[in-house]
Every structure is written in structure tokens, then in C-alpha cells.
Amino acid sequence: MECPRCGGRLTRYRLGEREAIGCQECAYVGVSVDHTAERGPAESWDDAIDRFQAQGQSVTAVRRADLPVDVPAAESGADAVEGELVDDEERVLPVFEAQ
């Protein structure tokens, strides 16, 4: 019997009244699967920060003035994000602590 996925030879396994088939070449076992992800609704930054805090993570406010000089400012242009923070506003970053 040929594997429906790769055309390789199927191996039949039997234990008592039960039987299963499998392909040694591509690991097919006769089970249909769907590996596509279902995306849920987008999560806002405020909701994400609330979720981090609910899980016991700390959140730190960071201003542009607090960053090292070698961190470039966001560039404007086609790839710029609408409503981006300007240099004098605060940015909130989650800080993950080792447990």
C-alpha cells in the first residue's frame, strides 16, 4: 500500500482488534491535521501591559532621554507607524525578570 502523502510504503501495525498504518519516510499516520493558526482579535498595548502585570511581570516607563545615545530615533516615511510617540513622550516597556 502506498502513502497518500509521499508515495512511500505504508507499514501496518496491529494490536488485538485495533490497527493503524504509518509511513516511515514522511511520518504520515492517517490523521488529518490543519497546521494553520487561527488569529484572535488584536491586543492593544494597554491590554498587553495589563496582562504582563497580572502575570506578575514589572513594567517600566522609559523616556527617549533615558536611552543610550546610540539608539536611533524612529525614521519617518513609508514604513513609519501612524501615531508614533515623539521623543519627549514616555514609552512603556515590559521588563521580564528571571524566575
Is residue 59 within 8 A of residue 52, CB to CB? The reply is yes
What is the mean pLDDT for each group of 10 consecutive residues in the chain (99 residues)? 88 89 88 78 87 86 74 55 50 56
Can you give the residue ranges of every domain in the chain? Answer: 1-32, 44-69+85-99
87 phi, psi to nearest 5 deg: -55, -30
Cβ count near 3 (within 10 Å): 19
For residue 85, what pLDDT is reported? 45
- Rounded distance between C-alpha atoms, residue 21 and residue 1, angstroms: 10
Residue-level pLDDT at 39: 81
pLDDT of residue 4: 87
Are the beta carbons of 90 and 62 closer than 8 angstroms?
Answer: yes
Predicted local confidence at residue 80, as pLDDT = 47
> How far, in Å, CA of 93 to CA of 62, rounded?
7
Q: What is the pLDDT of residue 54?
A: 92
Number of H helices, E strands in the chain: 1, 4
